[in-house]
Amino acid sequence: MRQEKSFALITGASSGIGKGIAWYCGSRKMNLLLISLPNEGLSEVAREIREKHDVIIDYFETDLSQLESPESVYKWVIEKKYAVNILVNNAGVAGTAVFENSDPAYSDIRIMVNIRALTLLTRYFIPELKKQEKSYILNVGSLSAFFSIPYKTVYSASKAYVVNFSRALRYELKGSPISVSVVCPNGVRTNAGTHARIEAHGAKARLTAIPVEVLAKNAIEKMLTGKFLYIPLGVNRFLILLQKFIPTALQQRMLTREFMKEVKVS
């Protein structure tokens, strides 16, 4: 049964890409449910979007790396009787590290947020999304999903999971009202860490980077057309094509050399 006021639920909405997506969805008069870590200014983001775009916004602060967190988001939505027609799994933790020297907690948080929270939120919300005439899941992957990146071992593998999970789920849900999409940007200047990482790679990284506002708009527009995979910028799509022609061992040596630069600035 279709419910009247529907909401786009966006994780990681207090900053970066998630905040950009929240602003764009607000500009399209979508009502919003914003999720982020506690004490990161989410109430302020909600207030500013509400004032500018006159949409209904509620927010919930939780640490998605905690075991009970995805279920607590779901319970909050159900208790408040919100109807969700768009789920944007954007929250994610990036970073660069020498794996053998890294704290086990470094890997754990990336697995918990990038993989576990995304998977469980999707599972919890499918029955809700199915109540809508038309609904959408947008998962935020990364161009790194298509490469095995030394020093970004857990991160790139977690994003490969996001792409594979999304593709498989899209086919399971064929014939249902739910369309599953994934967006895989390369660099996006969202915080001090991503600024430093983009700069570490020099001119070619600047060429492959996209502004948050452009990414947010395009990702939502592509999602609404039902497109599965959106890789921003022709140069990034070319990199994936090029990869098919470079022997794996050579590719890995090039990636090792390139991403060593990030270790030095991290």
Which CB sits closer to ligand NAP, 135 or 142?
142
Tell me which residues touch ligand NAP (CB under 6 A).
12-18, 36-37, 40, 63-65, 90-94, 113, 140, 142, 185, 187-188, 190-191, 194
CA 186 – CA 227 distance, rounded (Å): 18
- Residue where the block lists tokens 């900053």: 15
CB atoms within 10 A of CB 15: 17
Pick the catalytic residue from 151, 155, 161, 230: 155
Tokens of 50: 């509400």
Return the number of the residue (3 or 93) whose C-beta is nearest ligand NAP.
93
Question: 40, 107 in Cβ contact below 8 A?
Answer: no
Between 30 and 118, whose beta carbon lies closer to ligand NAP? 118
3-state secondary structure of 5: coil
Token digits of residue 116:
């576990």
CB of 177 to ligand NAP, least distance (A): 25
User: What is the widest separation between alpha-carbon atoms in the chain?
Assistant: 55
CB of 227 to ligand NAP, least distance (A): 17
SS3 label, residue 35: strand
Contact 177, 135 (CB under 8 A): yes
Tell me the β-bridge partners of 86.
8, 136
Side-chain-facing half-sphere of 53: CA atoms under 13 Å: 20
On the CB side of 62, CA atoms within 13 Å amount to 23
Give the nearest distance from C-beta 156 to ligand NAP in angstroms.
10
User: Nearer Cβ to ligand NAP, position 87 or 132?
Assistant: 87
Nearest approach in angstroms of CB 243 to ligand NAP is 17
Q: Is 106 a catalytic residue?
A: no
Task: For the CB of residue 215, give the shortest distance to ligand NAP in the complex, in Å.
Answer: 9
| DSSP secondary structure code for residue 260 in this structure | H
| Active site members | 155
